[in-house]
Protein backbone atom coordinates (compact mmCIF):
# COMPACT_ATOMS: atom_id res chain seq x y z
CA UNK A 1 0.00 0.00 0.00
CA UNK A 2 1.30 3.43 -0.93
CA UNK A 3 -1.28 6.17 -0.24
CA UNK A 4 -0.99 9.91 -0.90
CA UNK A 5 0.75 11.70 1.98
CA UNK A 6 -2.46 12.76 3.71
CA UNK A 7 -4.17 11.23 6.73
CA UNK A 8 -7.50 11.33 4.90
CA UNK A 9 -5.98 8.95 2.35
CA UNK A 10 -3.83 6.83 4.66
CA UNK A 11 -6.77 5.99 6.91
CA UNK A 12 -8.93 4.36 4.17
CA UNK A 13 -5.85 2.50 2.91
CA UNK A 14 -5.15 1.05 6.37
CA UNK A 15 -8.83 0.12 6.73
CA UNK A 16 -8.68 -1.68 3.38
CA UNK A 17 -5.48 -3.39 4.55
CA UNK A 18 -7.25 -4.63 7.69
CA UNK A 19 -9.94 -6.21 5.50
CA UNK A 20 -7.52 -7.76 3.02
CA UNK A 21 -5.44 -9.52 5.68
CA UNK A 22 -8.58 -11.28 6.90
CA UNK A 23 -8.69 -12.87 3.42
CA UNK A 24 -5.14 -14.18 3.79
CA UNK A 25 -3.02 -11.38 2.35
CA UNK A 26 0.14 -10.00 3.93
CA UNK A 27 0.63 -6.25 3.48
CA UNK A 28 3.47 -3.77 3.52
CA UNK A 29 2.17 -0.26 4.17
CA UNK A 30 4.49 2.55 3.03
CA UNK A 31 4.14 5.86 4.88
CA UNK A 32 6.30 8.81 5.96
CA UNK A 33 8.27 7.94 9.10
CA UNK A 34 6.63 10.55 11.36
CA UNK A 35 3.17 9.31 10.35
CA UNK A 36 3.81 5.93 11.94
CA UNK A 37 2.53 6.98 15.39
CA UNK A 38 -0.61 8.49 13.88
CA UNK A 39 -1.59 5.27 12.07
CA UNK A 40 -0.23 2.47 14.22
CA UNK A 41 -3.36 2.24 16.38
CA UNK A 42 -5.49 1.62 13.25
CA UNK A 43 -3.42 -1.43 12.30
CA UNK A 44 -5.57 -4.23 13.69
CA UNK A 45 -3.22 -6.97 12.44
CA UNK A 46 0.38 -5.87 13.12
CA UNK A 47 1.60 -9.43 12.51
CA UNK A 48 0.24 -9.26 8.93
CA UNK A 49 0.46 -5.54 8.12
CA UNK A 50 4.02 -4.29 8.22
CA UNK A 51 4.31 -0.53 8.31
CA UNK A 52 7.31 0.55 6.24
CA UNK A 53 8.43 4.10 7.08
CA UNK A 54 10.14 6.19 4.41
CA UNK A 55 12.00 9.46 4.55
CA UNK A 56 10.24 12.29 2.76
CA UNK A 57 12.80 14.36 0.83
CA UNK A 58 13.01 18.03 1.72
CA UNK A 59 11.58 20.43 -0.84
CA UNK A 60 12.44 24.15 -0.83
CA UNK A 61 9.79 26.28 0.93
CA UNK A 62 8.40 23.23 2.74
CA UNK A 63 8.93 23.17 6.53
CA UNK A 64 11.66 20.66 7.42
CA UNK A 65 9.36 18.45 9.48
CA UNK A 66 6.48 18.46 6.96
CA UNK A 67 5.57 15.03 5.61
CA UNK A 68 1.83 15.08 5.03
CA UNK A 69 -0.87 17.55 4.11
CA UNK A 70 -1.84 17.80 7.78
CA UNK A 71 1.58 19.34 8.46
CA UNK A 72 1.12 22.32 6.12
CA UNK A 73 -1.50 24.84 4.96
CA UNK A 74 -3.36 23.89 1.78
CA UNK A 75 -1.31 26.38 -0.24
CA UNK A 76 1.71 24.08 0.30
CA UNK A 77 0.00 20.83 -0.80
CA UNK A 78 1.73 21.00 -4.22
CA UNK A 79 5.07 20.89 -2.38
CA UNK A 80 3.95 17.73 -0.56
CA UNK A 81 3.19 16.29 -4.02
CA UNK A 82 6.67 17.29 -5.20
CA UNK A 83 8.21 15.61 -2.14
CA UNK A 84 6.20 12.47 -2.83
CA UNK A 85 7.37 12.44 -6.44
CA UNK A 86 10.94 12.64 -5.17
CA UNK A 87 10.47 9.35 -3.29
CA UNK A 88 10.38 7.39 -6.56
CA UNK A 89 13.93 5.97 -6.27
CA UNK A 90 13.35 5.13 -2.59
CA UNK A 91 10.11 3.34 -3.49
CA UNK A 92 11.84 1.47 -6.32
CA UNK A 93 14.46 0.16 -3.87
CA UNK A 94 11.76 -0.86 -1.39
CA UNK A 95 9.72 -2.66 -4.02
CA UNK A 96 12.79 -4.58 -5.19
CA UNK A 97 13.38 -5.65 -1.59
CA UNK A 98 9.74 -6.36 -0.64
CA UNK A 99 8.80 -8.08 -3.92
CA UNK A 100 5.03 -7.50 -3.62
CA UNK A 101 2.60 -9.08 -6.06
CA UNK A 102 0.59 -5.87 -6.33
CA UNK A 103 0.89 -2.25 -5.19
CA UNK A 104 -2.21 -0.25 -4.30
CA UNK A 105 -1.59 3.45 -4.88
CA UNK A 106 -3.49 6.72 -4.89
CA UNK A 107 -2.46 9.15 -7.63
CA UNK A 108 1.29 8.87 -7.94
CA UNK A 109 1.42 9.18 -11.73
CA UNK A 110 4.84 7.49 -11.92
CA UNK A 111 4.01 4.36 -9.94
CA UNK A 112 2.39 2.23 -12.71
CA UNK A 113 5.44 2.61 -14.96
CA UNK A 114 7.74 1.76 -12.07
CA UNK A 115 5.80 -1.35 -11.06
CA UNK A 116 5.54 -2.50 -14.67
CA UNK A 117 9.31 -2.17 -15.05
CA UNK A 118 9.71 -4.34 -11.93
CA UNK A 119 7.14 -6.93 -13.05
CA UNK A 120 4.69 -5.96 -10.30
CA UNK A 121 1.00 -5.25 -10.81
CA UNK A 122 -0.42 -1.94 -9.61
CA UNK A 123 -3.94 -0.93 -8.72
CA UNK A 124 -5.09 2.65 -8.39
CA UNK A 125 -7.31 2.89 -5.32
CA UNK A 126 -9.05 6.25 -5.26
CA UNK A 127 -10.81 7.06 -2.04
CA UNK A 128 -13.15 9.57 -3.59
CA UNK A 129 -16.20 9.38 -5.79
CA UNK A 130 -15.55 7.81 -9.24
CA UNK A 131 -17.60 10.53 -10.95
CA UNK A 132 -15.29 13.17 -9.46
CA UNK A 133 -12.27 11.22 -10.70
CA UNK A 134 -13.69 11.00 -14.21
CA UNK A 135 -14.70 14.65 -14.24
CA UNK A 136 -11.63 16.23 -12.62
CA UNK A 137 -9.01 13.72 -13.69
CA UNK A 138 -9.94 13.71 -17.37
CA UNK A 139 -6.56 13.24 -19.10
CA UNK A 140 -7.38 14.93 -22.46
CA UNK A 141 -8.39 18.10 -20.60
CA UNK A 142 -5.20 18.05 -18.56
CA UNK A 143 -2.88 17.38 -21.47
CA UNK A 144 -3.50 20.71 -23.19
CA UNK A 145 -0.29 22.07 -21.69
CA UNK A 146 -1.47 24.20 -18.78
CA UNK A 147 -3.41 23.92 -15.57
CA UNK A 148 -7.14 24.11 -15.91
CA UNK A 149 -8.85 27.16 -14.49
CA UNK A 150 -11.89 27.26 -12.26
CA UNK A 151 -13.88 28.36 -15.33
CA UNK A 152 -12.56 25.41 -17.40
CA UNK A 153 -13.57 22.93 -14.71
CA UNK A 154 -17.13 24.27 -14.49
CA UNK A 155 -17.82 22.72 -17.91
CA UNK A 156 -18.01 18.92 -18.09
CA UNK A 157 -15.23 17.28 -20.13
CA UNK A 158 -15.90 16.52 -23.77
CA UNK A 159 -17.91 13.31 -24.05
CA UNK A 160 -18.80 13.25 -20.35
CA UNK A 161 -21.97 11.15 -20.18
CA UNK A 162 -24.18 13.40 -18.08
CA UNK A 163 -24.16 17.17 -18.51
CA UNK A 164 -26.25 17.59 -15.35
CA UNK A 165 -23.19 16.65 -13.31
CA UNK A 166 -21.17 19.78 -12.77
CA UNK A 167 -19.25 21.68 -10.16
CA UNK A 168 -19.97 25.19 -9.02
CA UNK A 169 -17.45 27.99 -8.71
CA UNK A 170 -17.29 27.87 -4.91
CA UNK A 171 -16.59 24.11 -5.03
CA UNK A 172 -13.70 24.51 -7.46
CA UNK A 173 -11.98 27.53 -5.95
CA UNK A 174 -9.92 25.56 -3.42
CA UNK A 175 -9.17 22.78 -5.89
CA UNK A 176 -7.77 25.19 -8.46
CA UNK A 177 -5.66 26.95 -5.82
CA UNK A 178 -4.06 23.57 -4.93
CA UNK A 179 -3.22 22.80 -8.55
CA UNK A 180 -1.53 26.11 -9.37
DSSP the chain: -B--SSHHHHHHHHHHHHHHHHTT--EEEEEEGGGHHHHGGG-S-TTTEEEEEEPPPP-TTS-TT--SGGGS-GGGHHHHHHHHHTTHHHHHHHHHHH--SEEEESS-TTHHHHHHHTT-EEEE---S-HHHHHHHS-HHHHTTSSPPPHHHHHSPPTT-S-TT----HHHHHHHHHHH-
Per annotation, catalytic residue among 85, 106, 152, 170: 106
Q: Give the residue from 179, 4, 178 showing the smallest Cα distance to 84.
A: 4
d(CA 10, CA 30): 9
**For this structure, is 58 an active site residue?**
no
Per annotation, catalytic residue among 9, 58, 64, 65: 9
Q: How many other C-beta atoms are found inside a 10 Å radius of the C-beta of residue 142?
A: 14
**For this structure, is 106 an active site residue?**
yes
What residues are annotated to the active site?
Answer: 9, 106
Amino acid sequence: MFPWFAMGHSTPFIRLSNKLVIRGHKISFIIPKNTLNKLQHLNLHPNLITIVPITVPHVNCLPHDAETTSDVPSSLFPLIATAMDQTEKQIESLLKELKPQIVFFDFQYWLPNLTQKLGIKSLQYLIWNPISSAYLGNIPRQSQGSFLTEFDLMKPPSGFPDSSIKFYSHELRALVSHRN
